[in-house]
A and B are shown apart, each in its own frame.
Chain A
Amino acid sequence: MKKALFVALALAATSASAAPFVYPAAWTAEQNTANKRGGELRLGVLSDFKTINPFTSAEADSIPGTMDNGTGLFTQDPRNDEFLPYMADAKPVVSNSGKRFVVKIRQGMKFSDGQAITADDWITTWKIHTDDKVGSNSYDSFFLNDKPITIKKLDNYTLQFDFPQVSSGAYERMSFAPWPDHVFGKAYREGGAEAVKKLWTLGTPASQIVSPGMWVLESFRAGERSVFAKNPNWGDWNKDSRGNALPYLDKLSYRVTGDANASLAAFLAGQIDTVGMRNADDLAQTKRAIDGGSLKATLIPNVSPQAQSSWMTFNWNKASNPTLQKLFRDVRFRRAMSHIANRKAMVDLALGGLGTETYFSVYPIFSQQIAAGASAPKYSYNLAQASKLLAQIGYTKKNAQGYLVDKAGKVLEFNLSTNAGNTTREQLGRIFADEAKKVGVKVNFTPIDFNNLVGQLTSKGEDRPFDAILLGLSGGSNVWSFGANVTPCGTNLHSYNNPTNGKCLTAQESLMTKLYYQGDAELDDAKRRAIGGQLMKAEGELQPVIYLVGGNYHVAYNERIGGEYPRALMNAYYLQRDQALTFVK
């Protein structure tokens, strides 16, 4: 009897030292007060998963991407975007003027196979990600300006990160998922990169898979379905506000639906619990099913803008065609092009009326940054103004077909391409070309092969092979919302001006490059956004890239699941819910 009591006390003592992470009650609109447990969250995915290996995975939706749900030293609070210690025990100790972070790891965390999660797991994960023979997609997130971030194990539960320079993205970069040293580290030490790549392919039995996060793979059927079970050890250190272990759910499943229409059909038939609403058509179909009584679901339209952009870029490096090069380098021309872009018609026609006009590289969803740049200039739809600007450049006369000509009688004309198969972009381009015709600019719009297009866009040199390209980007952070390889001169996606030497051509470009690095190194949120505001102003004046429109983010989910975010926290960045707090009613 005495002994039993002693054991119980000891257990209490260890669990006290390993304080769990408590999910704030405010993170969900619907408290699971009855502690309803079990059930399955059923999701759809467009294409089949390709691998289980976190080091070779390159997909947006992936098996390792699901298993790293509920990991990371820090996690962002959707209420205020601040980083909370998550797998870390507390906020890091910062020294060396913001470049060194010493992080204590939360104790008592275990992988799904029961092994403790310790500093070695982070070190191994970092080593494998940064081995270029492995070819990990995360490789570059361990480098800043080509200089490596180094990680050192101080003891079993303490890590030291050394950054080559101050970076606002430090917390994000430190928050990678730790993969088991006893699986990958062992293979890596014995067989190097090749051994790591051979691990965890789709042929590996699910029972051998080990997860640090909320979910662990339970079964996989190629081209059909993957099922994840909850990691039984994860609930030890993840509790809801009433102290119950998380997640409430037993299972999570992904069904491969192949295309977006099939996903919608599965959602309407009640076979999956939530689906992305692409446009007004999807909303109308869902609303119809709800009103008709065949589907019990919640539908929240226009939650926020999507975290993506669509834009047009003009090539400044066209040595073979000096007329066009001069034209594209003329800021008045680019402003005229922005005046031609009928963003309202684009939203109405290409996005079915539900969308947001954009004018800057910052996605409209990052509202705090957008607000900081409110004074930056916009060149909105105004054909008269466009004609005036084009007249200033020297295009005053029109020929018999109604196209503007220069003094030599040459028609103002250029090619615009986008990737074939993307209906929305094809429609945006069509609308732009047809509006341009109204002021007498001849735009030859052709959708071309995606790979070909990317090849043209990312080409370097004095004579790059395109006139203008319409494309979109997604991905980006709400900490510093400017692209690391978009904004600074000489980077890969600095698409408008990319000469061999990578030099800036205009004062604004140099200013934007300077502001980019300055903002990235600024740790104070408000100051960083102010720098971002200046950057947006320079960008607005220069109009290096003409930003067009973005779709809106809508939320739809089956009534059988609860635990979604309160309406104020939902957006295209944090999405609709935390899976840990989701439960089946």
Chain B
Amino acid sequence: MKRLRRLFLAPAWAVTGVLFLTPLAIIWVYSLLSRGAYGGVIWQATAENYQRLFDPLYGMILLRTFVMASAATFFCLLLGFPLALFISRAGRRKHLYLQLVILPFWTSFLVRTYAWIFLLRDTGLINTALLSLGVIREPLPLLYNDGAVLLGLVYGYLPFVVLPLYATLERLDPALLEAAADLGARPVTAITHVIVPLCAPGFLAAGLLVFIPCLGAFLTPDLLGGGKTVLAGNLIQNQFTTARDWPFGSAVSLLLMAIVMIILLVLLRRGERLV
């Protein structure tokens, strides 16, 4: 029995080992080497890459990244919860609505982000419409700023919030809501005092599913932020492309990963008490 179990687990272990642990080890080794002039590394050990992380410039970027990821998570939960609640009570239509939530995944994330550019830019749909209606005289600066990046992140990760919250709401005993109403709670009070507290594990899972990828996001800030909004993801990407400083990029990656691990451990330990 035990041998059989090992046999079945072997492929998963192999994939994890080769495709995850090996690159991780390479990044770790690279982070301790010196940069090559045209990318790559020179085999000369140094701690300089880690020392540079203490530069306030990078601290600011990390801080901005955390603020941006937190804001995106907050708005995703704020918008996703009512949607999940609505779907969970939609009766026979809930499967249709769930399909609609998943529908965007049928199109490439890149294409969808470009679509936002066409909507938001000065000559885009929104500005053109408002200009021709005479609501505004100058195009609104909708694109290439923090707001556009936040919008893009919230848009991109909203489905990731709706699905786990929906799963939690589905499991909720409907009698609990009836009991709340029975005892005098209006619908809003029933939501804030019964549904939300009981969905705490769902909020935690949904929040992590947004927060962690947002920390490493580089495509959205690049396209919608116009290079003005540098987040940790862009910083890492730049080190491997234009800056050609692979060792430093590796060090930043590892730092970000370490921070994520710490957050996960703390939250999951808390989460155990919630469940």
Please indicate whether A and B come from the same complex rather than being unrelated chains: no
By a beta-carbon cutoff of 8 Å, the part of chain B in contact with chain A is none
